[in-house]
A and B are shown apart, each in its own frame.
Chain A
Amino acid sequence: GQNIDQPTEMTATEGAIVQINCTYQTSGFNGLFWYQQHAGEAPTFLSYNVLDGLEEKGRFSSFLSRSKGYSYLLLKELQMKDSASYLCAVRDSNYQLIWGAGTKLIIKP
């Protein structure tokens, strides 16, 4: 079967750095996405990786290793508003998006 694994919950301190990992086993690979979802709201797009390496976008960076079936989302200079769930999703060989359950990130002052 197809599987996306992420930690259920993480806690970090305001101003610090946090890395949220995602490992996947899917039928083929056609890109990996990270979305942010605040409680009770819609998911919003953060990043897309299709080649190995690091993609940087302001305070957020996303890394991909296709050979390891692994990605991480790195959040720097954490702010209270970064408290949210972070969803990892992989597009498989049929171009279907397979979603992880998300990592709930709690930021403490």
Chain B
Amino acid sequence: DTAVSQTPKYLVTQMGNDKSIKCEQNLGHDTMYWYKQDSKKFLKIMFSYNNKELIINETVPNRFSPKSPDKAHLNLHINSLELGDSAVYFCASSQGTSSSGANVLTFGAGSRLTVL
């Protein structure tokens, strides 16, 4: 009965590899997000999709590519991994878009990526 689930929880890989993180939500929410939480604990928005359409695309390297096959899934693919990509990546979802009411975010448990 997990609300927002993301896999894998841990990922250790070499520089230059390509990896994907998957996210699924069963809350019936319309909007999904990817956040990066670095070692200083700041949460930074990377992407946001509303009903499978990209609505936020912050300044992230184009090595990062989100894919939303349907509104319940938002996957993150990363090409040519670099040391600086090491972080915890959180998927989240919300009922509406960021401009609608309180728009509370429900987060997944996070995926800790370590690039060696």
Contact = CB atoms under 8 A, between A and B. Distances in A.
Interface of A: 30-31, 33, 35, 40-45, 48, 50, 85, 87, 89, 91, 95-97, 99-102
Nearest to B33: A97
B12 interface: no
Contacts of B90: 42-43
Contact of B45 (A44, A50, A96): A96
Interface of B: 4, 40-45, 56, 90, 97-99, 102-110
A99 B41 CA distance: 10
A95 B99 contact: yes
Contact of B43 (A87, A91, A95): A87
B104 A96 contact: no
A48 B102 contact: yes
Contacts of A30: 99
Contacts of B44: 99
30 contacts: A30-B99, A33-B102, A35-B105, A40-B110, A41-B110, A42-B90, A42-B107, A42-B108, A42-B110, A43-B43, A43-B90, A43-B105, A45-B104, A45-B106, A48-B102, A48-B104, A50-B102, A85-B41, A87-B43, A91-B98, A95-B98, A96-B56, A97-B45, A97-B98, A97-B105, A99-B42, A101-B40, A101-B41, A101-B42, A102-B41
A102 B38 CA distance: 12
Contact of B98 (A40, A43, A48, A96): A96
Given A95-B99, A96-B56, A96-B98, A45 B105 contact: yes
